[in-house]
């Protein structure tokens, strides 16, 4: 099964780097949710994704694909595929002209006996917020309440984030499985394992503070005991008079697995909305 998923991914990527993005469209489910650095909000649904990919048809060409440390986690009829990816443009003599490094999260669900991508999150390795980003936001006069699986996960996520914004990262660590994997804006490669995350968070403990957290349109995709949670997020700093000093916009993908009746995070991918490479 692992070989099958990688073969599907690599075949679609070969078409992509030769100007044909439709391999990924053909692999995707009707409810695909897609995120990349050029988007201010996620692509939702196969038809919207098809239109988006049509716009780049014939425009992307490079010669070398590198799938770095690809890792597959299987949970029932759900598969999490993560890897660092490097796309390289070569000169005629075969030397590298330019390279682009990526963080990649792909989630496949088995639908009617066929593996389909339901969630795809791409971000540049080591990227920053643009000076100006315009983000479409929903209008709502009252706080939203969530029920079902989404409600359960948002209780966990909100509690961990409340601690995070006050300099305490350990709320998230308590949600991680021992084999958790992790991407964010400053990681040079995927971080593997809870122990490595503890080391990483010790460097961040007591250094991250902001005043207001906003979860924008959280949603879940469920396949048995595997759940994809996605939301856009705003971390906001306030001036003493209550006005906004600064906001940072984020995309967040969390992959949860139900273990012994408890939800645990097996993968986390954070990226800046419309982030740009250093």
pLDDT, tens only, 202-227: 999 999 999 999 999 999 999 999 99
pLDDT at 3: 87
C-alpha neighbours within 13 Å on the C-beta side of residue 263? 21
Residue with tokens 């044909």: 20
pLDDT at 271: 98
Same fold? 2-128, 148-277: yes
pLDDT at 127: 95
pLDDT at 9: 98
> How many whole angstroms separate alpha carbon 45 and alpha carbon 155?
27
Strand stretches in 9-132, DSSP E: 28-35, 43-44, 64-75, 78-90, 96-111, 114-124, 127-128
Which residues of the chain have a pLDDT value below 70? 1, 140-143
Domain boundaries, the chain: 2-128, 148-277
The pTM for the full model equals 0.96
Q: At CA 39, angle to CA 187 and CA 77, rounded to 5?
A: 70
What's 2-128's CATH class? alpha beta
Which CATH fold would you assign to the domain 148-277? Nuclear Transport Factor 2; Chain: A, (3.10.450)
- Model pLDDT for residues 63-93, shown as the tens digit of each residue: 999 999 999 999 999 999 999 999 999 999 9
pLDDT at 145: 85
């Amino acid at each position: 099964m692992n070989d099958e998923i990688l073969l599907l991914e690599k075949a679609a990527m070969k078409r992509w780097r030769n100007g044909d993005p439709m391999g990924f469209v053909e692999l995707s489910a009707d409810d695909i949710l897609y995120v990349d650095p050029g988007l201010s909000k996620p692509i939702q649904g196969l038809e919207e994704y098809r239109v988006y990919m049509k716009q780049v048809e014939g425009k992307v060409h490079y010669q070398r694909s590198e799938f770095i440390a690809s890792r597959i986690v299987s949970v029932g009829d759900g598969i999490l595929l993560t890897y660092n990816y490097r796309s390289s443009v070569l000169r005629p003599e075969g030397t590298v002209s330019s390279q682009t490094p990526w963080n990649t999260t792909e989630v496949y669900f088995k639908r009617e006996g066929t593996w389909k991508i339901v969630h795809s999150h791409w971000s540049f390795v080591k990227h920053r917020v643009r000076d100006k980003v315009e983000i479409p936001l929903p209008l709502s006069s009252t706080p939203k309440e969530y029920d079902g699986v989404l409600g359960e996960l948002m209780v966990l996520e909100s509690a961990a984030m409340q601690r995070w914004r006050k300099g305490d990262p350990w709320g998230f660590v308590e949600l991680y499985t021992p084999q958790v994997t992790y991407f964010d804006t400053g990681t040079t490669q995927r971080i593997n394992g809870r122990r490595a995350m503890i080391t990483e968070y010790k460097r961040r403990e007591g250094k991250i503070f902001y005043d207001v957290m906003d979860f924008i349109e959280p949603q879940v995709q469920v396949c048995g005991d595997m759940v994809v949670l996605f939301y856009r997020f705003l971390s906001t700093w306030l001036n003493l008079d209550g006005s906004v000093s600064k906001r940072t916009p984020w995309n967040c993908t969390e992959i949860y697995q139900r273990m012994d009746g408890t939800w645990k995070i097996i993968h986390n991918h954070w990226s800046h909305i419309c982030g740009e490479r250093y």
